């Protein structure tokens, strides 16, 4: 066999993916894993129970490509109630194998080769390959923190062990830069809110501004990645925060992507949804036909059961409170660590990000131990943490088109037990 | 200004199987169309899923597959197929054979690459090839002869049809050589073949290997979704395979379906086994495709593979399917439809030739569009006989050729098949 078996598009992506790699390293070095975004506390018993029950009775044959009718109805009912939208289950919603698979289908359904997609950096590092695989081009428009916060200034803001998001924590979008990068080829804008990794929740004003710009470019579709829509802090309620999908000037051009796995703290569930105008959903369903054909019916009816059982939202208020406590605990620990980090209070999601430009990192960590190539500061920091401090975090340059900018940041996950977070904080003291 | 990507424009209508299943339900037809068993899934699968749901992790697992599943699958295939599998490098699990194939295409095909298909080829292959910007070329497999009712009934003894040379569908190797060129990257081979039930012979693989020796860049994708259902002289899993052929195995990726193996087409667990380099590309595609599979369905599948390692379960499943195949074929032969027939060597389906059937003219019209003969026949069956079958022209590049065939599924209960037969008498 010759050397060039693998398709060219895959060539940059043959190494073990970053999260898997750092999880492996965490295990190998017995680190506390604050890297990959999965909860390490038990998923709800009602989910296990639902799967166990449905496994005994639900059909195990092919079901409808768009999703099991019970699941689509339960999801539509749930989202209608908590997001205040109307969803036609026959036309405006489709289920796929996790938000990941939904995104893959969305891009396949809507992107032609040479189309351009705007990502707001730091943008989840899976978007770019998915865009490339459709022959399209990704354009990074960076968000930037309004200021670097000293540890003292944030610590001062704590009251009774709690801290509120304030202007000092904001990351801003440069709208002029955005307008410059948009052109006739721009087909899509991806907006992740709450945003992985910085925890930003876009405001109504920001969405208004985006809407004005997009009015001038009617071919642009908004892909709203709302995987963390149940984890919003401060004044926001779960599911109830400014969304493109409910914004009067954006909703008709938005495909909203959500994750039942994340909602139920079971990232391995692999059930996600796309909702939107019929014309988009029709094409996404077609992509799904050839992608997965259909999902496992047991997982779908079990998820439906869970959505039905939690429709009053009480479960999500409790979960959100838990995550908010954990985020505060981790933030405090990072502020009290011996590392000279700059922090911001997140507004939601699973993660917070710190600026590491003032941290001294031993030179050896700047060289990749496999092939000796030069690493960016964020990767050097991550290896320094994994090897000497015993805590795994995720380097953020992969989230940025501008690696120089991105190499200043690393991401820490707070979707972890108190024990785990305390252990990490102890090691960082 | 329409927002849908060009590659999807031909595929926006409900997919054929779904459409015919819907029609079957709407009109109270017997559904011999879509290839899913309508008898119960094995209790061991349900029990395994239920147990694992209580204990297995529900968080992200490894992209290439849960270690338990990969180990169990490797062990099972090593035992039943007789190949050696490096569990770290030569096997991957995905969300059904469908998702595996999708990852194979993405992992291996560049725009402009060519893919050889043997028609009739499963109709989900072509779109996936197109989505990667590659080009599909259909090389038809053609029946050696037409067997009418009188001819085929001669081979019916003791409730079984004896397979003979008269049932062979043959590959034109000269044609194949003519269409292979430098751009050919992949050859997709399905054995047992959907829809005709053909099992390729060792001699055919030898000839194929001879040709491919001259084209070292060609990867073979062996779709073995029905590898547990082989009739006559062949045993489950144990028939000529590219993944075990001395001159093909190193260039082959073999795709299998745990869902089909356990008569649970909704399971959505399938495997790719083969050349390390190919698997590497496929794993990379999987990362962005679905990231990982649900761990519970993986460990449940692992349990089932472990429990059926001795193969006995598959003997009885194969015997069941063989009985149903013979029952259906007899019914089609005894029917009032003047078709031509072949005995299948495996799989879920029989194909019949319908070129002699008088189909009322109205079934050829679909809102002003003229339908091919096979579609007209399928609608005729639905509306006047109450039985659903699947038209085969979508399986062919050459629709003129393909329109003479329709596919009937025998992965159905005796009751279902008998009812269909009654309606066709």
- A292 → closest Cβ in B37, B98, B216: B98
* Residue of A60, A115, A117, A297 to mutate, interface with B, max B Cβ within 10 Å: A60
Dump pLDDT digits (tens) for A75-89.
999 999 999 999 999
How far, CA to CA in Å, does A415 sit from each of A261, A418, B189?
A: 14, 9, 46
Say what percent of chain A tops pLDDT 90.
Answer: 97
Q: Is the dihedral of CA B15, B20, B26, B32 positive or negative?
A: negative
- A98 → closest Cβ in B18, B63, B290: B290
First to last CA, chain B: 52
Q: Is B238 on the interface with A (CB under 8 A)?
A: no
Q: Is B110 on the interface with A (CB under 8 A)?
A: yes
Q: Is B16 on the interface with A (CB under 8 A)?
A: no
Residues of A in contact with B36 (CB under 8 A): 61-62
The Cα–Cα gap between B203 and B206 comes to 5
Element (H, E) at B152: helix B149-153
The Cα–Cα gap between A269 and A304 comes to 12
- Mean pLDDT to the nearest integer, B66-88: 97
The Cα–Cα gap between B76 and B68 comes to 12
Q: Which domains does chain A have, with CATH numbers?
A: 5-43+315-428 (3.90.1150.10), 46-149+171-311 (3.40.640.10)
The Cα–Cα gap between B423 and A214 comes to 59
CB-based contact B99 A292, cutoff 8 Å: yes
User: Which pLDDT band holds residue A1 (cuts at 50, 70, 90)?
Assistant: low
The Cα–Cα gap between A26 and A387 comes to 9
The Cα–Cα gap between B200 and B194 comes to 12
Residue in chain B lying closest to A132 (CA): B288
CB-based contact A292 B95, cutoff 8 Å: yes
Give the pair of three-digit tokens for residue B122.
Answer: 């499963």
CB pairs under 8 A between A and B: 228
Query: What does the buried/exposed string (b/e) look like for A68-90 if buried means 16 or more CB atoms within 10 Å of the residue's CB?
Result: bebbbbbbbbbbeebbebebebe
Residues of B in contact with A36 (CB under 8 A): 60
The phi, psi pair for A417, rounded to 5°, reads -65, 160
Residue A132 pLDDT > 90, yes or no? yes
Give the distance from residue B12's alpha carbon to the nearest chain A alpha carbon, in angstroms.
Answer: 6
The Cα–Cα gap between B288 and B283 comes to 9
Residue B107 pLDDT > 90, yes or no? yes
Residues of A in contact with B127 (CB under 8 A): 290
The phi, psi pair for A328, rounded to 5°, reads -65, -40
CB-based contact B1 A218, cutoff 8 Å: yes
- What burial class does residue B14 get, using C-beta atoms within 10 Å of its C-beta: 0-12 exposed, 13-18 middle, 19+ buried? middle
Residue in chain B lying closest to A288 (CA): B99
Give, to the nearest 10 degrees, the angle between helix B276-289 and helix A98-110: 90
Judge if the upstream peptide bond of residue B356 is cis by omega within 30 degrees of 0. no
Strand partners for B271: B93, B256
CB-based contact A1 B4, cutoff 8 Å: no
Residues of B in contact with A130 (CB under 8 A): 288
- B267 → closest Cβ in A4, A20, A60: A60
Dump pLDDT digits (tens) for A191-244.
999 999 999 999 999 999 999 999 999 999 999 999 999 999 998 999 999 999
CB-based contact B133 A280, cutoff 8 Å: no
Element (H, E) at B205: helix B202-213
How far, CA to CA in Å, does B291 sit from each of A346, B93, B95, B110, B286?
A: 26, 11, 11, 22, 6
Residues of B in contact with A101 (CB under 8 A): 95, 289-291
Task: Name residues whose C-beta falls within 8 Å of residue A168's C-beta, 6 or more positions apart in sequence.
Answer: A146, A147, A149, A153, A154, A157, A344
Dump pLDDT digits (tens) for B146-159.
999 999 999 999 99
Dump pLDDT digits (tens) for B382-392.
999 999 999 99
User: Which pLDDT band holds residue A3 (cuts at 50, 70, 90)?
Assistant: low
Element (H, E) at B349: strand B349-353
Give the pair of three-digit tokens for residue A380.
Answer: 């050097």
* ipTM value: 0.96
pLDDT of residue A332: 97
CB-based contact B5 A5, cutoff 8 Å: no
């Amino acid at each position: 066999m010759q050397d060039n078996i693998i398709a060219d598009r895959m060539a940059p992506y043959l190494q073990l993916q970053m999260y898997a790699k750092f999880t492996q390293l965490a295990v190998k070095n017995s680190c506390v894993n604050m890297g990959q975004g999965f909860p390490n506390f038990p998923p709800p018993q009602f989910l296990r129970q639902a799967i166990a029950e449905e496994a005994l009775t639900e059909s195990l044959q092919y079901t409808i490509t768009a999703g099991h009718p019970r699941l689509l109805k339960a999801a539509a009912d749930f989202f209608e109630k908590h997001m205040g939208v109307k969803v036609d289950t026959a036309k405006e919603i489709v289920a796929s194998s996790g938000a990941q698979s939904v995104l893959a289908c969305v891009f396949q359904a809507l992107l032609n080769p040479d189309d351009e997609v705007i990502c707001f950096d730091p943008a989840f590092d899976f978007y770019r390959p998915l865009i490339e695989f459709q022959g399209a081009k990704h354009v990074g428009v960076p968000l930037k923190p309004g200021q670097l916060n000293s540890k003292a200034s944030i610590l001062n803001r704590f009251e009774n062990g709690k801290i509120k998001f304030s202007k000092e924590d904001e990351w801003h979008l440069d709208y002029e830069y955005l307008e410059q990068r948009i052109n006739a080829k721009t087909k899509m804008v991806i907006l992740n809110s709450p945003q992985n990794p910085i925890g930003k929740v876009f405001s109504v004003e920001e969405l208004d501004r985006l809407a004005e710009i997009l009015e001038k470019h009617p071919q642009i579709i908004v892909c709203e990645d709302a995987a963390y829509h149940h984890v919003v802090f401060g004044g926001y309620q779960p599911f109830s925060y400014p969304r493109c999908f409910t914004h009067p000037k954006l909703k008709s051009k938005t495909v909203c992507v959500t994750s039942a796995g994340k909602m139920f703290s079971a990232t391995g569930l692999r059930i996600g949804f796309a909702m939107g105008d019929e014309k988009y959903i029709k094409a996404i369903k077609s992509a799904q036909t050839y992608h997965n054909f259909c999902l496992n019916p047991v997982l779908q009816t079990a998820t439906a059961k869970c959505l039905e059982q939690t429709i009053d939202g009480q479960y999500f208020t409790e979960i959100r409170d838990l995550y908010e406590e954990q985020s505060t605990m981790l933030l405090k620990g990072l502020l009290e660590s011996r590392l000279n980090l700059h922090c911001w209070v997140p507004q939601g999601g699973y993660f917070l990000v710190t600026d590491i430009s003032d941290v001294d990192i031993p030179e050896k960590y700047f060289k990749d131990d496999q092939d000796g190539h030069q690493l960016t500061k964020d990767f050097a920091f991550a290896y320094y943490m994994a090897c000497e401090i015993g805590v795994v975090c995720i380097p953020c340059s992969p989230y940025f088109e501008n690696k120089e900018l991105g190499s200043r940041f690393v991401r820490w996950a707070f979707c972890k037990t108190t024990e785990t977070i305390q252990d990490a904080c102890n090691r960082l003291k | 200004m329409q927002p849908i990507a060009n590659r999807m424009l031909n595929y926006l209508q409900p997919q054929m199987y779904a459409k015919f299943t819907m029609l079957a339900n709407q009109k109270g037809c017997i559904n011999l169309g879509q290839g899913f068993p309508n008898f119960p899934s094995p209790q061991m699968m349900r029990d395994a899923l239920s147990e694992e749901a209580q204990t297995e992790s529900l968080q992200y697992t490894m992209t290439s597959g849960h270690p338990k599943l990969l180990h169990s699958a490797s062990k099972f295939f090593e035992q039943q197929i007789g190949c050696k599998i490096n569990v770290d490098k030569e096997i991957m699990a995905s969300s059904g054979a469908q998702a595996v194939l999708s990852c194979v295409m993405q992992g291996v095909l560049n725009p402009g690459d060519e893919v050889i298909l043997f028609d009739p080829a499963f109709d989900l292959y072509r779109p996936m090839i197109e989505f990667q910007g590659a080009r599909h070329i259909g090389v038809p497999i053609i029946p050696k002869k037409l067997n009418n009712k009188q001819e085929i009934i001669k081979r019916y003894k003791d409730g079984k049809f004896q397979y003979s040379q008269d049932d062979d569908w043959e590959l034109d190797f000269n044609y194949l050589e003519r269409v292979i060129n430098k751009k050919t990257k992949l050859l997709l081979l399905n054995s047992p073949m959907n829809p005709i039930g053909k099992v390729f012979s060792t001699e055919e693989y030898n000839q194929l290997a001879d040709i491919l020796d001259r084209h070292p860049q060609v990867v073979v994708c062996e779709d073995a979704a029905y590898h547990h259902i082989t009739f006559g002289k062949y045993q489950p899993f144990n028939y000529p395979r590219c993944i075990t052929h001395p001159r093909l195995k190193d260039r082959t990726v073999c795709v299998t379906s745990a869902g089909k193996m356990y008569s649970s087409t909704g399971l959505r667990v399938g495997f790719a086994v083969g050349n390390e380099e190919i698997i590497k590309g496929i794993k990379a595609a999987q990362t962005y495709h679905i990231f990982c599979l649900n761990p519970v369905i993986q460990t449940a599948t692992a349990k089932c593979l472990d429990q059926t390692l001795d193969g006995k379960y598959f003997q009885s499943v194969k015997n069941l399917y063989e009985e149903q195949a013979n029952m259906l074929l007899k019914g089609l032969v005894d029917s009032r439809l003047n078709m031509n027939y072949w005995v299948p060597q495996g799989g879920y389906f029989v194909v019949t030739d319908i070129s002699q059937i008088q189909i009322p003219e109205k079934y050829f019209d679909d809102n002003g569009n003229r339908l091919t003969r096979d579609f007209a026949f399928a609608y005729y069956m639905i509306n006047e006989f109450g039985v659903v079958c699947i038209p085969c022209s979508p399986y062919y590049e050459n629709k003129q050729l393909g329109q003479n065939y329709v596919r009937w599924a025998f992965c159905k209960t005796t009751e279902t098949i008998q009812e269909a037969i009654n309606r066709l008498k």
